[in-house]
Amino acid sequence: MVGLLYVVESQDLFHEQTSKLRSYQIVTPQVVTGRWKRHENGSETHRQNGHSDQITYSIKIEDVIHYLNLTKNKDFLSPDFAVVSHDVHKKSVRRHTGKPKSCHYQGRVEGREDSLVALSNCDGIRGVIFIGNESYALEPALQSSNNEHLLFPLDDSQSEPFVCGVADAHGEDNAPEVALSMTSFLRRKRNLPLTRYVELVLVVDNQRVSIKCTLSGNTTAVREEMVQLANLLDTYFQQLNIRIILVGLEIFETQNPFDMNGSAGDVLGRFVDWRKTQLVPRIRNDMAQLVVGRSGAYSGGVLGMAFVGTVCSASTGGGIGVYGNNALQYFSTVLAHEMGHNLGMNHDDTRCQCSGGSCIMASSASGSTLFSTCSGSDFEQLILRGGGVCLRNQPSQDSIITVPACGNGIQEQGEECDCGPPQSCTSKCCDAATCKLTKGSTCAAGSCCKDCQLSVSGTPCRPSVNECDLPEFCMGDTGFCPPDTYLMDGLSCQGNTAFCYEGRCQTLDYQCQQLFGSKATKADDKCFSYVNTQGTRFGNCGYSGSSLVPCSVANSMCGKIQCTNFDSNYPPPGAVISVETIEGSISCRNADFNLGTDVLDPGYVKKGTVCAAGKVCVDFNCVNSSVLMQTQNCDALNDCHGNGVCNDKGHCHCNNGWAPPNCNKGGRGGSVDSGPAEIGMSLNYKLHLFYLLYRILLLLYCIEWHRVLRSTLFLFLLVSAVTYLFLAVSELRTVFFSKLLVTSKDTFSRVTKHFL
């Protein structure tokens, strides 16, 4: 009887698992030994936590046996990983879990360059496989005792449509279609030689936790699922030479710390506010994504929403995605879509084709795992416009939630470098087989690494791009430039007519130029008070539910931006232009951006923009500018002694000649965040000086021993030389000594032998 009940239960679970699939195969993946090794010398693969660093599976796909050659990627979770919950008083409680499994892999199908694979084998095998034009999802068959797995086309896994409602007006229907393959994306990756690193935090709301815990019985399953999600996301974005690094995971076990009711835009607004005030101070990140456990989409079929091009913004660098009853593989493409928006990618139009049909950035999600050439171009444009500065430097080893795996292209604890697997590594500075620096190299990557050698401390590595930005300088002991810093929010700029906010002088002229081109300028103030008080799609102060809210006269400068001096016949993609003339001669031009229901309209005045004397725009309201400085506790006159400015971290950035942290002592300028602002002695100069003084001492000691020893002048010269030599040596860092020992071994031996 028990056995019969079990069979019936198994059949019910299997039926529920497959009921939303149009087609599927039952497959039994098999481990293949002795077929593929990571190291070229054929050494055995390493095992960690019971999982090999490299593994090969054989699997039959549509009657053809394929071999999946996989390398362990990352499980992202450190032994002291913290799960964050919130009690009824909204107090955070941190508790630590045990060391997680290291069971997440990436790789290719043997013999197919046009393939990518991302799988985990923590509890059964699950993930995605795409070969050429086809994409498949793989997951264990529920209650199977014979290693049976379900293999199904990825676009079969969605349970509800994801419609963004993008206007097609900006697409050219007669544009030639371009058939793309995985080979095209591999070529694009090579055309983007500088790898960008996105430091991501995933946040799981309480409803999603409840859904998962009902199925699995514990929150460990939530954590493991998010790790699998991050592995999939990393695989997708590698097409564009972008690595997704999971640096944090927040799980709301008991309740959400902010209201989850309302529209997708309402929830997104509350989430990014919580991220800026609560998350960023604890976990530095480039963007955060909220996983929402709704049973269905938001109004209008919206399954996700994000800001466009805000990846490095402290206030808007985030998005949300609905993860209800869909398969993880399908949800990963929804979240990749929203992350793409944060990275500056717009919706694809008819000119943007992927092999097999739809792409990740299509307006209606279909489970595609490929980015179009348009998405790649959008991301390149973000970089060329000066965006994405936080993506240049690889995260510090301490911040990566991972079990180190040599060959994944990310330098982790215990590694001196990591240039990827040997078959794809092109670095002359790094040994791919051992993740150690090659002989004579002191670094392998980064803007402070030139020809395998560290740049001298104080070498500029990221110049200031505007008056609200601050420069960064090489530290002298790492190949990577320090993270980007800028002036503290609320400081004045442009001759005291505007304020700095998130590293930009937030003027209306600048915002008009960003939207409509370099010649565009702010329209007359009367345009703002006239158009924005009407509450139309071209003039409003946001939404209340689905209804447009007209601005009050006092807040009219904080609604839709009104511009002039641009050609309205050539609007930006997705924009509809309105042109009005008021009082007979005043031209007012503005735009309604229909980029889809998952993208907030970029045509609103930015936070921190001046709206009246001493006032700035914050959430469609014109308020006192002092609100911009409430989160910082730094005063340049007192804390920096008038010899520097305050940066966005609340630290002093000292003028040249003064030393951080307080700018009250002599030094080389800069801050504890930026690196020293003055170039120190070069390595070659110090080495030459060292050799010169060393030889002088030997000469004086060996030849003039008896006669000069009694000379007061000699004693003075000797003491002076030794003192200067000691000071020079003390400034040499460990890397300098490494180079000295390598380059002067023979010379030193000969001189010593001659002396003896």
Place of tokens 């591999």: 186
Inter-CA distances, 502 with 387, 417, 487, Å: 12, 32, 8
Tokens (6 digits) for 110 = 């043997």
Tell me whether residue 246 is exposed, middle or buried, using C-beta atoms within 10 angstroms of its C-beta: 0 to 12, 13 to 18, 19 or more: buried
| 739-746: long-range pairs with CB below 8 Å, 24+ | 739/440, 739/442, 739/453, 739/683, 739/687, 740/687, 740/690, 742/439, 742/440, 743/440, 743/687, 744/687, 744/691
Give me the phi and psi of 250, to 5 degrees please: -110, 125
Are 325 and 340 a contacting pair, CB within 8 Å? no
Are 474 and 455 a contacting pair, CB within 8 Å? yes
Tokens (6 digits) for 398 = 């301490």
Vertex 376, ends 374 and 378: CA angle to 5°?
70
Give me the phi and psi of 344, to 5 degrees please: 90, 10
**Selection from 304, 284, 100 nearest residue 197 by Cα:** 284
Tell me how crowded residue 5 is: count the other CB atoms within 10 A of its CB.
9
Element (H, E) at 56: strand 54-61
Q: Is 502 a catalytic residue?
A: no
Alpha-carbon distance of 703 to 243, in angstroms, equals 62
Beta strands, E only, 323-464 = 430-431, 436-437, 449-450, 453-454, 460-462
User: For 521-648, where are the alpha helices, taking DSSP H only?
Assistant: 525-531, 636-639
Tokens (6 digits) for 69 = 């050659």
Tokens (6 digits) for 642 = 């008038």
How large is the C-alpha radius of gyration of the chain?
30
**Selection from 625, 631, 651, 620 nearest residue 277 by Cα:** 631
Strands of 492-493's sheet in order across: 492-493, 498-501, 504-505
Is the previous residue joined to 422 through a cis bond, with omega within 30 degrees of 0? no
Beta strands, E only, 389-467 = 430-431, 436-437, 449-450, 453-454, 460-462
Which letter does DSSP use for residue 277 in this model?
I
688 in a known ligand binding site: no
Neighbour-count burial for 273-290, b at 16+ CB within 10 Å, e otherwise: ebbbebbbeebbbbbbbb
Alpha-carbon distance of 467 to 429, in angstroms, equals 37
Tell me how crowded residue 392 is: count the other CB atoms within 10 A of its CB.
20
Tokens (6 digits) for 63 = 């009657």
Element (H, E) at 223: helix 220-237
Inter-CA distances, 396 with 144, 379, 390, 441, 672, Å: 42, 24, 13, 20, 16
Categorise residue 43: left if φ over 0, alpha if ψ from -120 to 50, beta otherwise.
beta
Inter-CA distances, 616 with 231, 493, 497, Å: 41, 13, 11
Alpha-carbon distance of 333 to 371, in angstroms, equals 11
341 in a known ligand binding site: yes
Tell me how crowded residue 269 is: count the other CB atoms within 10 A of its CB.
18
Tokens (6 digits) for 489 = 């929010």
Are 495 and 507 a contacting pair, CB within 8 Å? no
Alpha-carbon distance of 73 to 400, in angstroms, equals 13
The one catalytic residue in 199, 250, 338, 502 is 338
51 in a known ligand binding site: no
Known binding-site residue numbers: 337, 341, 347
Show which residues are catalytic.
338
Binding region for Zn(2+) = 337, 341, 347
